[in-house]
Structure 1
Amino acid sequence: MIKSMTGFGKYVVQLPTKKITVEIKSLNSKSIDLNARMPSSYREKELEIRKVIANSLQRGKVDFNLYVEITGDETTTEVNETAVRQYMKQLRSIADGDDLRLMEMALRFPDAMKTDKDDIDEQEYEAIKKALEGALREINDFRLEEGTVLEKDFLERVDALKELLEQVLKMDPERSGTIRERLEKAVNDIKAEIDANRFEQELIYYLEKYDITEEKVRLANHLDYFQKTLKSDDSNGKKLGFISQEIGREINTIGSKANYAPMQQLVVQMKDELEKIKEQMLNVL
């Protein structure tokens, strides 16, 4: 099972006089990179909220948005006139517009409303936590669905790599024979007296340098391990990335030792499949 780092979650809680909306969006990142946007009156809870999000999402570039909309009488909240005027002034410098339209836009920005309350109402904060939990459930479900799509793609590409490796295995005896013939012809063209036994020893030594038996075995093992890791209970994006690097090393070594055009063509195809795996790997949790 793997999860994508890409996802979106939204959850709404309706109170008697307020509507609380939490939105969470995430993209790929090497670590947790969280950007939180919320009204200033709720900032005292930011660290607690950040911890909950980080524990749930683990990795990713995350945008968290908390919106609180007043839907009834609210005697403790009023327009922050200074902030709204500043927003209107900045908007006017960017684009033309009548004051009413600019004010509507300015009221949507953070700190456009202010409250005289010193403490967050417990019932209100419980609603925020409920909305946060709901949004996290949604984004994790989204990540899991995206991960299923990625897993299918990975399995297809690993199968393609295994098929190419099978072709390499079938081609290897022909490759070895061709290399041997090429060396023997080169020696015969010299038209010089040679020691047959010594030549055979040197030929065996030379052919051993181009032997790819170990690389073929290791590559097959790495591909099996990649598939096994895909099926583990946890999403192991970093581990899969390390295995991909090892797969790449074996493919590169086979390519450098091939010394045979048809096999090098297969290596190019293997590199192409692996590159597509690595591109998608950036999105795996």
Structure 2
Amino acid sequence: MSFSMTGYGQSALHFGGYKVEIEVKSVNHRYCEVVIRLPREWTRFEDPLRRTVQRFVKRGRIDVFINKEAEENTAPPVLLNHKAVNTYMEAAREVSERHGLNGELTVRDLLSLPGVFLTPEEVGTNQDPEPEEWGRVLEEGLVKAMEGLVAMRTSEGSFLARDVEQRLNRLEKLHGEMVQLAPSVVEEYRNKLRQRLAELNDGSFAFDEHKFGMEIAIFADRCNIDEELIRLHSHFEQCKGLLRADEPVGRKLDFLIQEMNREVNTIGSKANHLTLVNRVVEMKAELEKIREQLANIE
């Protein structure tokens, strides 16, 4: 199965009073490049998250965006200052004993006094989840986003593979026509050369069958494309096998397309035949379209 290098995935999680959104997008790239953008306080998780991405993809540029926002209608956390409460109660007892006053501090009185409640910043503590918990949450969210991205890359990859395979079928058809045309090239050249010599012979020179045969033999050797046609057929089979492989095959396919181009160019330079040259032009056009599609296959 072939995979595209283009895809998108996202996920959203709610944890510790925050909403965490993760977006992942990928485009084609020669290697596997992972770029992660996340809040500064989560920088420590960058390497583990990068390794998570690399478990899912082997090639392409993958951009990961992680945002953290406080949930709406979430009250800021406060802490009860027990030291201040004890101080207020001791002071109340002292005033009562020293001055003979009656009455006690109630809960309502205490809660209304300054300093009884402190924010986490005032006491140097933090009510956010522990770093290890955030690491687990980010890992879970990234996995969900990557699953979405892989699903899109798989779907797009299947479409690309079908298109490439159809073009390979077209190339095989052109190849078959070349195989049928190849033997007739020498025969047509022999007939045309014999006819031309007959037209030019005004009786001033004798026709030499031996030299004529040597000329035909040299031409036949020069325009022989059997080896190129055999190698092309082999490349077609290898390409179709790679398109069904469960591994990154983009580079291998790109190499095979280069080899096919080389064989087709050789056929074009050897073929002294108009119909064969036309088939070469058609094959080169199809190979260029395949090459463009392969630029997106992992």
TM-score (norm 1): 0.80
| Alpha-carbon distance in structure 2 between the residues aligned to 1:75 and 1:164 | 74
Deviation (angstroms), 1:270:
0.8
d(CA) in 2 for partners of 1:266 and 1:212?
13
Change beyond 3 A, Cα 1:116–1:181: farther
Q: Does 1:272 align with 2:289?
A: no
Check if 1:122 corresponds to 2:132. Answer: yes
* Counterpart Cα distance in 1 of 2:197 and 2:31: 58
Do residues 151 (structure 1) and 164 (structure 2) align?
Answer: no
Residue by residue over 1:99-126, the C-alpha shift from the partner in whole angstroms, topping out at 9 and shown as x without a partner, is xxxxxxxxxxxxxxxx986995322221
1:218 counterpart = 2:231: yes
Where does residue 140 of structure 1 map in the other structure?
A: 150
The answer to whether the aligner puts 1:281 opposite 2:294 as a matched pair is yes
Structure 2 residue identity aligned to 1:62: I
CA deviation after TM superposition for structure 1 residue 187, in Å: 4.5
State the match for 2:221 in structure 1.
208
How far 1:213 moved relative to its partner?
A: 1.1
**Percent identity of equivalent pairs:** 30
**1:177 and 2:190 equivalent?**
no
Cα deviation, residue 74, structure 1: 4.7
| Larger Rg computed on CA atoms | 2
Query: Matched residue of 1:5: which SS?
Result: coil
- CA spacing shift, 1:202–1:120, aligned 2, 3 Å: farther
Identify the residue that residue 45 of structure 1 maps to in structure 2.
Answer: 45
| Residue pair 1:162, 1:223 contacting (<8 A) in 2 also | yes
- SS of aligned partner of 1:50: helix
Shift of 1:188: 4.5
| Matched residue, 2:115 | none
Verify the 8 A CA contact 2:186 2:219 in the aligned structure 1. no
Counterpart Cα distance in 2 of 1:127 and 1:9: 17
Q: Distance in 1 between matches of 2:297 and 2:54?
A: 16
Unaligned runs of 5+ in 1: 77-114
Distance in 1 (alpha carbons) for counterparts of 2:196 and 2:235: 38
Q: 1:57 & 1:233 partners in 2: Cα distance?
A: 12
Matched letter for residue 42 of structure 1: W
Q: Deviations over 1:34-67 (max 9, x none)?
A: 2221111111211222222234222112211001
Contact 1:210 1:258 in 2 (8 A): yes
Q: Is the 8 A contact 1:42 1:120 kept in 2?
A: no
Q: For residues 198 and 160 of structure 2, what CA distance do their matches in structure 1 show?
A: 55
Q: What one-letter code is carried by the residue in structure 1 that aligns with 2:185?
A: R
User: Quick one: which amino acid aligns to residue 125 of structure 1?
Assistant: G
The one-letter amino acid of 2:9's match is G
Range with greater deviation from structure 2 (64-73 or 272-281): 64-73
Instruction: State the AA in 2 paired with 1:45.
Output: F
d(CA) in 2 for partners of 1:75, 1:58: 43
Q: Check conservation: 1:17, 1:73, Cα contact below 8 A.
A: no
Residue of structure 1 equivalent to 2:64: 64
1:240 to 228, 253, 273: 253
2:32 is equivalent to residue 22 of structure 1 = no
Is the CA contact 2:3–2:158 (under 8 Å) kept in the aligned structure 1?
yes
Alignment of 1:73-152 (within 5 A): 73-75=75-77, 121-152=131-162
1:231: which partner in 2? 244
Letter aligned with residue 222 of structure 1:
H
Instruction: Measure how far apart 1:68 and its partner are.
Output: 0.9
How do 1:252-263 residues align onto structure 2 when only pairs under 5 Å count? 252-263=265-276
Q: Secondary structure at the match of 1:180?
A: helix
CA distance in 2, matches of 1:245, 1:7: 27
Deviations 1:205-231 (A, max 9, x none): 221110111111111111111111111
Secondary structure of 1:193's partner? coil
Q: Is the 8 A contact 2:3 2:297 kept in 1?
A: yes
Q: Does 1:168 align with 2:181?
A: no
SS at match of 1:145: helix
Aligned residues: 247
SS, match of residue 10 in structure 1: strand
